[in-house]
Amino acid sequence: MSLNGKELEMNTMDVLLLMGDADSTREDCRRELEKGGYRAGVAGDGRKGLALIAKERPRVAVIDLDIPGMKGMEALKEIAGIDPAIVPIVLTGSGSVDSAVESMKNGASDYITRPFDPHALLESVRRAAALSESRKQSAGQAPAADRQTMALKGLELLGQYYSLGLDKRDFLGELTRLENEAKRHAETVGNIGEKEKLLRDMLEQLNLVDEIIAKYDYDKSTVLQIMLEVQTRLNWLPGHVLRWISRRLKVSLSHLYTIANFYEALSLEPVGTYKIEVCTGTACHVRGANGLNTSVSALLGLEPGQTDADMTFTLTNVHCLGCCALAPVMKINDQYYSNPSTRDLEKIFESLRREKKNDIAVENA
């Protein structure tokens, strides 16, 4: 791979553009990135692009979902396996809500539709590069945990707290508050376990929230976008997360709850990976909605409004899904199902369970 006629050496690439050779905007994007101080490379084929990413380890990968050689979404998933610090940005000429949500779930920090302004891409890359550096710092190797090592870490943190004009009592009080929030969160989702796991789970969530907030430059005017992205990643807005956002952005907690209660896309209750909505409107009621509701409830062991223990399914009833011709109908996330039989439901639920299991395996790989 060359850049302006020169061969790229190891670790000399900041951004890789995975865009087809025939893409007329590719060179404009590359030039704009170089003007912004980024060393940019290009790859016109998905497989070759992934090989180059594995070699060069750029901070940011800009992926066209229509990249030749493989599906763009597949490339997006593989990048995380190569290096979790690499931050992808998705480009597409045929944007949709489904595609945007899937892209974000697979690690994209931004979703840009064509036509786009190269200046906008530059700004997105700037945020993604900062996020990449943050991930690299967080992944730094730490010495083996023992009592003495942890005491030194605590002493270092206490010193940083003193530098903010706070004292030991403030420091210990903040830790106690976070520990109590972890316990309350566990009680809310019915997942009370070892103290270490409770704290680790909450730490992962708050680190994720920090990544999302940093992506939006701590701009309180983007609080709705931040909350929507947190909702997409966690499937709901836990109380400790809202309190964390409130402190980070210096936005009142009451304002965040007002937003969460106003927008239907946001939830203050735990929601499973798959939200099942069974329509009970007039058309569906007449054509057998009660039977469909009973079958779904029996197969999942859930009543409307409940979520299963492993946060896979949430069952709800809605007054209308806007597709009366399909009655009786249910919706799972963005997919509609018309008058499914009990056997159909069994296959659907089993397929979704396998899908979630595979997704978890990929995340943990």
Residue 267 lies in a domain: no
Averaged confidence pLDDT in the chain: 82
Give the helix ranges, DSSP H, for 57-146.
72-82, 97-105, 118-138
Query: Of 63 and 149, which is predicted with more confidence?
Result: 63
Whole-number pLDDT of residue 332: 93
Q: Same domain for 131 and 20? A: yes
Please tell me the total count of domains within the chain. 3
pLDDT(3) > 50: no
| Last residue within a domain, chosen from 234, 262, 290 | 262
Average pLDDT, stretch 2-30? Answer: 65
Nearest by Cα to 249 from 227, 218, 274:
218
Looking at the fold, whether 229 and 311 belong to one and the same domain comes out as no
- If one compares 71 and 242, the residue with the highest pLDDT of the two is 242
Q: Is 25 in the same domain as 114?
A: yes
**What pLDDT score was predicted for residue 227?**
94
Token pair recorded at residue 249: 């952005």
Rg of the chain taking only CA atoms, in angstroms: 23
pTM attached to this predicted model: 0.47
299 and 242 housed in the same domain: no
* Same domain flag for 307 and 334: yes
Same domain, 195 and 302: no
- Last residue of a domain, which of 240, 262, 284? 262
Same domain for 218 and 343? no
Examine the domain organization and report whether 158 and 231 are in the same domain.
yes
Q: Which of 84-93, 191-200, 282-291 has the lowest mean pLDDT?
A: 191-200
Whether 143 maps to a domain, the answer reads no
**Is residue 99 domain-shared with residue 214, that is, in the same domain?**
no
User: What is the extent of the structural domain holding 111?
Assistant: 2-136
Q: Which two tokens stand for residue 236?
A: 């709901």
Same domain, 218 and 153: yes
pLDDT tier at 257 (50, 70, 90 boundaries)?
very high
Domain boundary among 81, 101, 136: 136
Q: Are residues 67 and 25 in the same domain?
A: yes
In a domain, 198, yes or no: yes
Strand, helix or coil for residue 276? strand
Q: What CATH number does residue 48 fall under? A: 3.40.50.2300
Structural domain contains residue 345: yes
For strands 2-3 and 6-7, give the pairing.
antiparallel
Q: Which of 83-87, 167-171, 235-239, 294-298 has the highest mean pLDDT?
A: 294-298
Predicted pLDDT at 9 = 37
| Cβ density class 148-172: b for 16+ within 10 Å, e for less | eeeeeeeeeeeeebeeeeeeeeebe
Residue written as token pair 């069974």: 278
Is residue 142 included in any domain, yes or no? Answer: no
Domain of 337: which CATH number?
3.40.30.10
| Sole residue written with tokens 């976008």 | 225
Residue 50, in any domain of the structure? yes
The answer on pLDDT for 291 being more than 90 is yes
Residue 252 domain-assigned (yes or no): yes
pLDDT confidence band for 147 (50 / 70 / 90): low
For residues 180-189, give the mean pLDDT. 65
Q: Is the pLDDT of residue 307 over 50?
A: yes
pLDDT, position 169:
76
CA 265/CA 216 separation, integer angstroms: 20
- Confidence check: pLDDT of 156 > 80: no
Q: pLDDT over 70 for what percent of the chain?
A: 84
pLDDT at 139: 62
Query: What does the pLDDT look like over 309-347, one tens digit per residue?
Result: 788 999 999 888 888 888 999 999 889 999 999 999 999
Same domain assignment for residues 204 and 258: yes
